[in-house]
A and B are shown apart, each in its own frame.
Chain A
């Protein structure tokens, strides 16, 4: 066991640090450090343009997606080097939010299932941020129950014809490509009739409509498919194997989201260190101290759990369902922290104007964004089910959808056709 750098790791860290010092967009440092979770602040500059610019700069120097093989736009770096890189990248890493879904989830799926030609064509541009990808999984009838999805794909010669609707698709409005899971057979059990594709989001018949979120942003969208044609060459995995392919994506999703997840701890610690309550400095208040200790212990626990996962990866072990704990802990914690932080500031704590509120209203944007963390990428309840069933081996829930054809499964009142 050794939590310090080896000589080679020290070298790597210094190289990374020097390159970042020379190349990072330092003019964005101030707004970026005030970024709340789920909103990247770039001051007077356009966040997507800045994100793309930084990504391109990194890619040209071999610092993008460094764990990927070189021929796909990466650097062939080790998992540990990748941790060192993100430590060094620091706040500039906040610019990568736009690419997380593409690089963290779509890319591993492409690596596992796409043909060599497609990998060489798409992965380098994903790494360099020139092309943005989205994940078209959830539907109005299937979020947690993903395998209950209804978007249909019907084969017509060498192409597939897609009809249906996806929802909650993050970043679809900025995306060039997406991975899409569809139903190709309704007469077999639900997990068996699915097939995965990737598609050009500019294809005819794709209609993207942003949805206004509870926090006022519009990160996610509805995406409608009206006779959209996808070449069979863009199928990922076998026909009917879509569930297996989706699990690859979801496993990586939990790593991508759960790996270096924001918890809100640095924000609450900063607030406590400067805030004075009626009873004296907040940092001396016993109730505050007790919460601070609890949250620090949790965030350290996540960080150290992440470190152990990296060690396992380095030894060639495959990260398992135990990584579900990251998002489960961080989501609830961030929501608790934001609530507590607002409380400490009294009514003034509700101000969302970044000109007035502390740290550009970081805490307030956490308050309003954190409920989504407990839903996106698997709800708290689904994650607990996964831990209970797949880690602890407890029995499955009683299910009403087992052993029958998808078309025969009971559904909500407003169900529509399947």
Chain B
């Protein structure tokens, strides 16, 4: 047994950290958020130069074939700087969907371009202000044509293609659809850095991914795997929000002393730390389960997801509190973490949904 990442994995993490601290400071995130560009394409290209989009893609399909453990640490670093790149949608969702369910031909067509960063993919599930279910989908597939509207497709403005959850004769399907020429419009969401789109499919050409009718089950598999990677982004963000709070509390004085010497704030930050540690440890276990396709991956992923969501929500929220009025300004970075924490919490379905998945996956009680 060995419960830590290897030094090779840590080296990759270190390399990514160095790259991001130079090329993707929070000011870069901010420029995207404030609308200067759709995404930080220079950062995306830099990540591609390091081969990171292809970390877990097999070498046969143009990837690095290094597996999921280093990819988890890459996710943690991207989460820490709130990188304004479509990495999560393209790598954790679209790439995973094709890796798990694509035919050999589809893998040959898609994976090399995803690995090199030439293509950006995304997953289009949501259709409005309600949670999607197999019975309420309005985007319909008929033969190789796709119609209907997906609302809030993360990175939908930046994507070249989407994996789309649709209703069909067979029930629910996953399909692949190119987005060139498809009508897309920007939709404002809490985290403006993720280039969210409304996509209006009108007789758009598509092809099946996996078996028609298996859409919902495939979606769940992809989301479980992605949950592990999202959890690492979340703990990366939580860690930085906590660091920000601690740094400010040491410098800011009130009543003649640093505010970090007030116990109510110290204890608040101690609780942030506790939530972060628990989330980190659960994410480590889930990383191992993902890499090894462990039988308890479902439980491990849901556990990592629940803890990571709790931790990032708490750290982002209380980081604002520690900063006082400053924390509520546009100019300070606290709200960037707050926004991102809310996005990441919902990107794969909310806390409640994952709590249910966790409980369903629990082995039965042994009293």
Residues of A within 8 A of B (CB): 1-6, 9, 33, 80, 83, 266-267, 269-270, 272-274, 283, 289-290, 292-294, 296-298, 300-302, 304-305, 307-308, 310-312, 314, 322, 325, 328-329, 359, 381, 383-385, 387-389, 391-398
Contact = CB atoms under 8 A, between A and B. Distances in A.
B258 interface: yes
A312 B364 CA distance: 32
B278 A1 contact: no
A321 to B, nearest CB: 11
Interface of B: prevailing SS: helix
B285 A300 contact: yes
A259 B278 CA distance: 14
Contact of B277 (A322, A359, A397): A322
Given A9-B1, A300-B303, A290 B288 contact: no
Nearest to B308: A297
Nearest to B272: A392
Interface stretch (B147-155, B260-268, B337-345): B260-268
B274 A297 contact: no
Given A294-B355, A394-B246, 17 more contacts: A1-B284, A3-B1, A3-B288, A266-B365, A273-B367, A297-B306, A300-B303, A301-B277, A301-B281, A305-B278, A310-B1, A325-B273, A328-B274, A384-B270, A394-B249, A394-B261, A398-B261
A297 B261 contact: no
A270 B366 contact: yes
B271 interface: yes
- Interface of A: prevailing SS: helix
Nearest to A269: B365
B270 A308 contact: no
A270 B285 CA distance: 24
Contact of B359 (A289, A388, A397): A289
Contacts of A322: 277
B190 interface: no
Interface string B237-279: 0000010001001100000011011010111011101100111
A311 B2 contact: yes
A325 B271 CA distance: 9
B282 A301 contact: yes
A305 B281 contact: yes
Interface string B194-226: 000000000000000000000000000000000
A211 to B, nearest CB: 29
B4 A1 contact: yes
A113 B258 CA distance: 39
B288 A2 contact: yes
Contacts of A297: 278, 282, 303, 306-307, 310, 358
B352 interface: yes
Nearest to B307: A297
B356 interface: yes
B3 interface: yes
Nearest to A6: B1
A286 B9 CA distance: 40
A1 B69 contact: yes
13 contacts: A2-B2, A3-B289, A6-B1, A80-B1, A301-B281, A301-B282, A301-B307, A304-B285, A311-B1, A312-B4, A388-B266, A394-B269, A395-B260
Contacts of A396: 261
Nearest to A80: B1
Contacts of A383: 270
The number of chain B residues touching the other chain, given as a range, is 35 or more
Nearest to A291: B355
A62 B217 CA distance: 51
Interface in B111-129: none
A151 B233 CA distance: 52
Given A301-B278, A304-B285, A296 B362 contact: yes
A329 B274 contact: yes
B4 A311 contact: yes
B6 A1 contact: yes
Contacts of B5: 1
Contact of B1 (A4, A270, A325): A4
Contacts of A5: 1
A134 B366 CA distance: 34
B287 interface: yes
A395 B258 contact: yes
A57 B122 CA distance: 61
A300 B282 contact: yes
Pick the most buried of A267, A381, A394: most chain B CB atoms within 10 A of its CB. A394
B291 interface: yes
Contacts of B257: 395, 398
Nearest to B285: A304
A272 B306 contact: no
B359 A1 contact: no
Contacts of B294: 3
Contacts of A296: 303, 358-359, 362
A247 B303 CA distance: 35
Given A1-B2, A1-B284, A266-B367, A387 B306 contact: no
B367 A270 contact: yes
Contacts of A314: 2
A325 B277 contact: yes
Contact of B365 (A272, A310, A392): A272
A387 B274 contact: yes
A266 B362 CA distance: 11
Contact of B284 (A304, A310, A328): A304
A395 B278 contact: no
B3 A293 contact: no
Contacts of B292: 4
A393 B354 CA distance: 34
Contacts of B358: 293, 296-297
A394 B285 contact: no
Contacts of B352: 290
Contacts of A80: 1
